Amino acid sequence: MRVKIFPGRTSEGEVTIPASKSLSHRVLISAALAEGTSVLHHVADNQDTEATLRCLKALGAGSEKAADGLHITGIRDWSSYEGSVLDCGESGSTLRFLIPLAAMTGKVVTFTGHGKLMQRPQSVYEELFREKGLLFEKKDEFLRVQGPVPGGEYVLKGDVSSQFITGLLFTLPLAEKDSVIRIIPPYESRSYVLLTEQILKGSGITIHDEGLEIRIPGNQRYRPSERTVEGDDSQAAFFEALGVISGKPVCIHGINLESMQGDHAMLDILRKMGGSLKEMDGLVIAEPSVLHGTVIDLENCPDLGPVLFAAATQAEGVTKFIHAGRLRIKESDRIDAMEEELTKLGAVMHSEEDSAEISGKTKISGGVVLNGHNDHRIVMALAVLACNADSPVTIEGAEAVSKSYPDFFKDLKKAGAKVEQL
């Protein structure tokens, strides 16, 4: 799909953000592990969460949409798994969260995926599985594992994806023995681990988090619950940036102002750059602002990288991004992808392996065709910045937004932008 974004915005905007993708993955998994039926409200509806639900059903969970919410019936018997291939789509969270859990069947479980998913690093699990004498086999576009994953000690580097820690946190309460996860600093993206622990505790699971050491008693049982998923701060970030850089305010509904989501940091980062963002009763108003360059640490919020790169082009002076290396192993190399596309728009960006610098303020030159790099966050970040161009901008591969935010372009129109689907 190709979309054309026209300069400027016709009006002040008002949008309601979708449910948090990160939290939706977590509540679906915790519900599938519970003994009984959970009722979930406001679960994110996108390709990634569909992949998680599809895999959980293959493992034996039940799912039914009802008037009062999504009913998830927990997996009653792990040994009932019949050998279905677990198709994770392009969802890294689905794959990494479910690898150790699927191994609890005690049978050989095969995973597959699409796009670049099966090329993304899984060496953390590979090493852990082999240390425990378990099967971990990667071949072509398939990954095979067999457990069950035992309790005991697990040592992980803190500067790899927190998704590996989350996968173990879901799994180890089911082990017979107690477990401890020891984390070697630096400890990046801890906010996502805390998000997982919040969901686990709401499911009756006991976790003792002492910073670099997480203790998990074994032989626990998940209990069913009723939950409502809060709005997605990583998706709100695009509209917060839009309101700050594009000349008219945007009113963003559905934000939990006390959220533990790591991407809630977008508000403080934009304020640090000089952005005006007002908070009131579940909504944020992002107002046109004069931004200035600063140093932005992406250690705990890497998903904000693309939209902050876009916003930084509209800030006076130099904006430096540090601890950005993990952006290189997402759906695309998000640093290289943004550098390539921002250069087409006339921006100046230079990067190294773990950092990047953007010089502003840039006059955004339209009349160009941009590549979405099959990456939802790249497409959305470029679309936001294109509203500041001096002539229309076309983005190819815009369908990538379906991965996390299928209604993004509808909401961009609600925010006052003129968007044409080609």
Annotated binding site for 3-phosphoshikimate: 21-22, 26, 161-163, 189, 303, 330
Which residue carries 């998994």 as its tokens? 29
How many residues does this entry show for the chain?
422
Residues annotated within a binding site for phosphoenolpyruvate: 21, 92, 120, 163, 334, 377, 403
Residue pair 340/350 in contact by the 8 Å Cβ criterion: no
Among the listed residues 371, 410, 363, the one whose alpha carbon sits nearest the alpha carbon of residue 391: 363
Report the C-alpha gap between 288 and 15 in whole angstroms.
16
From the list 303, 333, 336, 375, the catalytic residue is 303
Q: Is 333 designated active site?
A: no
Which residue carries 């290289």 as its tokens? 336
**DSSP-H helix ranges across 78-189:** 92-102, 123-131, 162-171
- Alpha carbon distances (Å) from 388 to 8, 66, 346: 6, 43, 12
Report the C-alpha gap between 276 and 328 in whole angstroms.
30
Residue pair 169/216 in contact by the 8 Å Cβ criterion: yes
Report the C-alpha gap between 48 and 376 in whole angstroms.
11
305-312 vs 334-344: helix axis angle to the nearest 10? 30
Distance between the two ends of the chain, CA-based, in angstroms?
A: 7
Report the C-alpha gap between 240 and 90 in whole angstroms.
26
Dihedral through CA 110, CA 161, CA 179, CA 30, nearest 10?
A: -60
Residue pair 315/291 in contact by the 8 Å Cβ criterion: yes
- Alpha carbon distances (Å) from 308 to 241, 272, 338: 8, 12, 10
162-171 vs 92-102: helix axis angle to the nearest 10? 40
- Alpha carbon distances (Å) from 77 to 33, 167, 170, 318: 10, 19, 17, 56
Report the C-alpha gap between 121 and 207 in whole angstroms.
27
Residue pair 224/195 in contact by the 8 Å Cβ criterion: no
Chain centre to alpha carbon of residue 252: 19
Residues annotated within a binding site: 21-22, 26, 92, 120, 161-163, 189, 303, 330, 334, 377, 403
Residue pair 211/180 in contact by the 8 Å Cβ criterion: no
- Enzyme catalytic residues: 303
